[in-house]
Amino acid sequence: MALEQTSFKAGAVKIAVVGAGAIGGLFAARLAGAGHQVSVLARGALTGILRQHGIRLTSGGVETAYPVRASDSAADLGVQDIVIITVKAPALGAVAASMAPMIGPDTIVIPALNGIPWWFFLNEGVPLSGTRLKRVDPDGSIEAGIPLPHVIGAVVIVSSSTSAPGQVVHASGNKVVFGEPSGQPSERADRVAAMFADAGFVATASPDIRRDIWAKLLGNACFNPVSLLTQSPTDLMLADPGLEQLFVGMMHELLGLSRALGIGLDIAPEQRIGETRKLGHIKTSMLQDLEAGRSVELDSIVGAAIEAADAAGVEVPLLRTVFSMAVQRARMAGIYEA
């Protein structure tokens, strides 16, 4: 798996983005603007919209259209240098099963997903090594469809939304972190980070992407399910002392689990909550999904953490209670299927 053997080293990279929503659309637009050969694997009417209009990105109050190639067929797009997956976790199994025509011997696959990814425990030498998270990859089809040697992990710290199909509005945040699932430094991770930096992101290669994933999970696994239950943005939740103490307790559980998994996070819950408080009025992804009637990522963000805790013998009673209530709320809204 040597990225330098592909056209990547020579300049323009052949990139396919799977899922042209808020994050995928932003990535596709910026990378196309940087001169790369960007394709989008889309579905339904969106394919025709992208073919006709490209991706329209609004950032800083300015709208720009970026032409991309669009298709609903992975075979039509063919083998890529890089495939970036930005679909929601519930759709990942079906996507993984269809990706084979885009993955060649040297193709890099970047899952830019929320929660704990399917590959988190697949490397040798990590606690729970070889554990398949059934909440994320119930039948092993994702692991089979996207072989681990192709994968580079990613953490995205960006706020964007879609105002209409093919139209993306970038609100804030510009950070993307990449890293090998093995935790080893690599030239290909450095090159991917450099490519994203050239496209206007604050992009870095991390020596420990598992730690970066857990650091993001620390907020997501707390704020997201509670916002689903309360239908409240973060500023209103944090204005409630009782909810703030709930978040402190949930974060302590996640930090304890991280220590059992060999992931060292040097942050106090109060500090992490303070960082979110500074952001002001933020609607979490689950609150946005509830309002839009879209499937929520409860399994990958919260359920997978509980599954890992069970495997590691760590008690997480607050996470478990909040998860059960959030699942029931999502079921009643028709946006969750186990």
Measured in degrees and rounded to the nearest 5, phi and psi for residue 147 equal -55, 140
Which pLDDT score, from 0 to 100, does residue 338 have?
74
Domain 212-329, what fold? N-(1-d-carboxylethyl)-l-norvaline Dehydrogenase; domain 2 (1.10.1040)
Which pLDDT score, from 0 to 100, does residue 9 have?
43
- The closest alpha carbon to 89, from 128, 116, 120, 119, belongs to 116
- Judge whether residue 267 has pLDDT over 60: yes
Maximum CA extent, the chain: 56
The pLDDT-based confidence of 3 (bands split at 50, 70, 90) is very low
Q: What mean pLDDT is reported for the chain? A: 94
One DSSP character per residue, 68-92 reads -EEES-HHHH--EEEEEE-S-GGGH
Coil vs helix vs strand at 174: strand
Average pLDDT for residues 249-263, to the nearest whole number?
A: 97
Q: Tell me the Ramachandran region of residue 11: left when phi exceeds 0, alpha when psi lies from -120 to 50, beta otherwise.
A: left
Which pLDDT score, from 0 to 100, does residue 6 have?
36
Average pLDDT for residues 296-307, to the nearest whole number?
A: 98
- Judge whether residue 232 has pLDDT over 90: yes
- Judge whether residue 1 has pLDDT over 50: no
Q: Could you report the per-residue pLDDT of 115-137, keeping only the tens digit for each? A: 999 999 999 889 999 999 999 99
Average pLDDT for residues 263-272, to the nearest whole number?
A: 92
Q: Which two tokens stand for residue 117?
A: 């990814």
**CA gap 248, 295 in Å, rounded:** 27
Which pLDDT score, from 0 to 100, does residue 2 have?
34
Buried b (16+ CB within 10 A) or exposed e, 123-134: beebeeeeebbe
Which pLDDT score, from 0 to 100, does residue 12 have?
85
Q: Which two tokens stand for residue 96?
A: 């993984």
Average pLDDT for residues 297-320, to the nearest whole number?
A: 98
Strand partners, 154: 178
Q: Tell me if residue 175 is catalytic.
A: no
The pLDDT-based confidence of 27 (bands split at 50, 70, 90) is very high
Cα 295 to Cα 1, 12, 61, 205, 300, distances in angstroms:
34, 35, 30, 31, 12
The pLDDT-based confidence of 63 (bands split at 50, 70, 90) is very high
Name the amino acid, one letter, at 155: V
Q: Where are the domains of the chain?
A: 3-207, 212-329
Q: Could you report the per-residue pLDDT of 70-97, keeping only the tens digit for each? A: 999 999 999 999 999 999 999 999 999 9
**CA gap 232, 141 in Å, rounded:** 35
CATH architecture of the domain with range 3-207: 3-Layer(aba) Sandwich (3.40)
| % of the chain with per-residue pLDDT over 70 | 97
> Of 14, 134, 216, 278, which one is the catalytic site residue?
216
For the chain, counts of helices (H) and of strands (E)? 14, 10
- Judge whether residue 266 has pLDDT over 90: no
Single pTM value for the model: 0.93
**CA gap 287, 309 in Å, rounded:** 25
